[in-house]
Structure 1
């Protein structure tokens, strides 16, 4: 039977061979796919853009530390949840990791089930991010299919203008606006004004609407 985690990978980055092997065995024992790296640079070089999953990374490593590697993730277009682990953790280090976006900071030695639970939570966050990115991508594709005039009508309507007010703003007649609005609604695949507003917000066209 196929696991829902088959498409996701847990990327373990730790300079300690025993820790890497131990984490790999633990995570694979609960059906997770694992790839291990001895340092962050090896991970960056081996990472397949578009991969999904999460990162379990040691804070203290020779060369590029976990904290500094975390800062560089965006440079490599890596947007995965990060779980930081450390045998020498301190409050400042934990705060830095969490402020930079780590989902949690775990001190060694840790309970196996605690780590597994955090990894599952991180994978769930990754799935949610993927769905959101996919949704936004589809919305953008639909918006790009609109004509210039349909985009103008969309932006005016979601800002609260009536069909007549939009027509006056654009210097065209109301029937023409109604036609553009019908075409635009069909292309955007929305069934109500509320859905149209949500689409406009997702596209960054408006921050709020004055009236329905």
Structure 2
């Protein structure tokens, strides 16, 4: 019998929602990284810009691979604490951006040599906030996926597997029934075609004198 093929991907609503959140977080991290590289290549490397750069670069590498696992069948949801950690890091990055660009004169803040470019600075702030929201949403989605895969997934075999198991048991049980029938008839050399199963009663014929 041909082997049953297990699907590689699982496109459930929960997994697709997790994939969307992780993909949006990755895109936001890439945008923040690009803005930070632009500032660091032309202006002074301040502490907050360095922090944004480190977080966005790590986020880009980690979630560039992690988002691909969300729709694979073998992935059972083990990234809850990872998302919680990144949500805290992105929240800190967002707070730094808000302090720099919303509580002072934007043109003279982080980096002050930029000579304005407030639109780019506000973009950094916005996408840092988007990355925080996505990582925050990914944590409960990941937790829910873990619960579904480990506690709510049914363990009942598929119809094809159940049928194969029944046929396998019947194949091994048949010779034992035949042997029992031969013992009852006291005829061990009887042919298989003449053997009656235990479910079919067998009556001895009276011998005529």
Range into which the TM-score falls when normalised by the shorter chain: under 0.3
Q: TM-score, normalised by structure 2?
A: 0.26
Give the number of the structure with larger relative contact order, counting CA–CA contacts within 8 Å between residues 6 or more apart: 2
Q: TM-score, normalised by structure 1?
A: 0.25
Larger strand fraction of residues = 1
Larger helix fraction of residues = 2
When Rg is computed on C-alpha atoms for both structures, the one with the higher figure is 2
